[in-house]
Amino acid sequence: MKRNFSVLFFVFFSLSLFAQNNEVKNVILMIPDGTSSSVLSLSRWYKGYLAGDYSVGLAVDPYLCGYVRTFSSNDPIGDSAPTTSCYMTGQPSKAGFVATYPPKTDSDLFPVDATRTYQPLITAFEAARILKNKAIGLVATTYLEDATPADCMSHCYSRKKNYQLAKQMVYNGVDVAISGGAREVRPLENELKEHGVNIIFDDIDGFRSNESDKLWAFFAEKDMPYHIDSDTDNIPSLAEMTEIALKCLAGKPDGFALMVEGSKVDWAAHNNDAKTIIDEYLEFDKAVKVAIDFAKKDGNTVVVILPDHGNSGLSIGSRKTNKSYNDMTIDELMKPLMDYTVSAEKLGDLLASSDNAEIKPLFKKLCNFDISDEDIKTIVDMKAKSSANDHSKVAYSLSKVVSTILYKNTCIGFTTYGHTGEDVFLAVYSPTGNAPTGWMTNVDINNYLCSLLGVENQLPKLTDELFAKHQEVFQGYETKIEKVSKDEKDDNYKLIVKNKKQKLEIESFTNYIILDGKKIDLESVIIYVDKNNTFYLPKKIREYLQ
């Protein structure tokens, strides 16, 4: 059975789904992280309820064209790291892997070459920059080094190595980055300035008045707050972030590739917080409109919209409700959602720092309903059991309790707090009207993106040229790897290569080498993998020692 499954995917490889020349000047990839198709249905109903017109649709609706199977190399249910990684590289990978080749396992769903384990994989965006001189933009509402944006322009076997991923993006030629994640980028501020980047931290006025075509702007030390909880005077919406990113990139003579992630649909789904899921998706949908309006005006831009995976098993209809599903009116379904004015996460945070006497007034003020004595006792007991010295853990635990209370009397159900394995929707705006249709795989999406960017069939070759093992590149030379810092948390390493006359120094996660004290810039980043004590770097570096 496994063999037949593998053969099926080889057939997909051989199909020339995108054989025609689809190359355009600009590509905008938009990913609403963790958005199941049921989220679109619920968001449409909610938007129509607010408008008093149920014919009102979403910005994405006219361009829906197919479904995509998204999976890890050894698991039908993927997380953001390997799923977006496959869109970028064409290679399904393992949970937690960022644009990196997976290890071979007994449960692989896709052919895996064990000799390539941990090899960084060139992404479609990297290839577009290297081969087509396209500018690169990344926009996200969590943090820049989070899995989805990291998949576009960095590499690692662990999505948790935030500083390492951020450093790669600094040195990998990202022109525009707008997100949270300032904490990991602050130590690299001087490097960004050396690359001519205007870097902004928590400065909405400076952000809006920016005139540079190279902009890195951050509005949180880690993830940005949910839109429903945001101080909108000081934190931009995703639509505005997209608009300013496009303003920076629009004048690039060779075009651009931009990834926009509605990151926190996923986080709200992990919390089973339906109102915040809707709010985050509708904010993403506004950004979709910005992108499509730009593309229509530009005439040479394609917008590709698809989630990386599903999350939470959200349903409109649940067995937990007392009423029969066909007796529940639209008012009964939507009115409670309108009354919820904060996320479950925010309410959990408020409860964690409040006296027990404030529980009932908080629910009434922020959610417009009278919480039961039984539910109050549940919250009080949870607070008593949790560590009083760790506010974040108390707040996290309470957010799950809050979401259960908020939705137990609604018709909205959830099956899990985790990801789900259903196929995800695909939508494409193309100036020619041509778009892939039907059922596809994540590998097919990579093929399509590469065809749009003019780099089809180039990724395997570039990967082998730019990410070769240092033992092979410097065979016959004396090599030594040493840690740059004594700090155990700093995973930065240096490779030293010597012959009789020359000394070559190569620092991990940068894009340059030092030959006899002289700096030489490279077109790609250099990756060090501690799992196999190997540097992955361009083969041509050897030429400098000959």
Phi-psi region for residue 221, left (φ > 0), alpha (ψ -120 to 50) or beta? Answer: alpha
Find, among 169, 13, 151, 159, the residue nearest to 86 by Cα: 151
pLDDT of residue 325: 73
Looking at residue 489, what is its pLDDT? 58
SS3 of 208, please? helix
Q: How far apart are CA 202 and CA 222, in angstroms?
A: 12
Read off the amino acid at residue 544: Y
Which residue, among 165, 139, 163, has the nearest Cα to 288 in the 3D structure? Answer: 139
Q: Measure the CA dihedral 287/289/293/296, to 10°.
A: 110
- Cα 70 to Cα 134, 149, 259, 423, 426: the distances in Å are 27, 17, 18, 7, 11
CA–CA gap between residue 368 and residue 340 (Å, rounded): 7
Q: Residue 56 gets which letter from DSSP?
A: -
Tell which CATH architecture fits domain 2-314+418-463.
3-Layer(aba) Sandwich (3.40)
HEC string for 427-462: EEECCCCCCCCEEEEHHHHHHHHHHHHCCCCCHHHH
Predicted pLDDT at 488: 59
Given this model, what pLDDT does residue 16 score? 46
Fold of the domain spanning 467-545: Copper Amine Oxidase; Chain A, domain 1 (3.30.457)
Segments of the chain with pLDDT less than 70: 1-21, 323, 387-389, 486-490
- Largest Cα–Cα distance in the chain? 85
How many other β-carbons are positioned within 10 Å of the β-carbon of residue 494?
Answer: 17
Question: How many Å apart are CA 76 and CA 136, to the nearest integer?
Answer: 30
Q: Hey, what amino acid is at 445? A: I
Q: What are the boundaries of each domain within the chain?
A: 2-314+418-463, 328-413, 467-545
> How far apart, in whole angstroms, are the C-alpha atoms of residue 300 and residue 323?
51
Rg from Cα positions in the chain: 24
CB 494 within 8 A of CB 485: no
With contact defined as beta carbons under 8 Å apart, do 135 and 173 qualify? no
Nearest Cα residue to 265 out of 96, 29, 43: 43
| 328-413: in CATH 1.10.60 | yes
Q: What is the pLDDT of residue 11?
A: 40
Token readout for 332 is 């009964």
Rounded Cα distance between 199 and 120, Å, is: 28
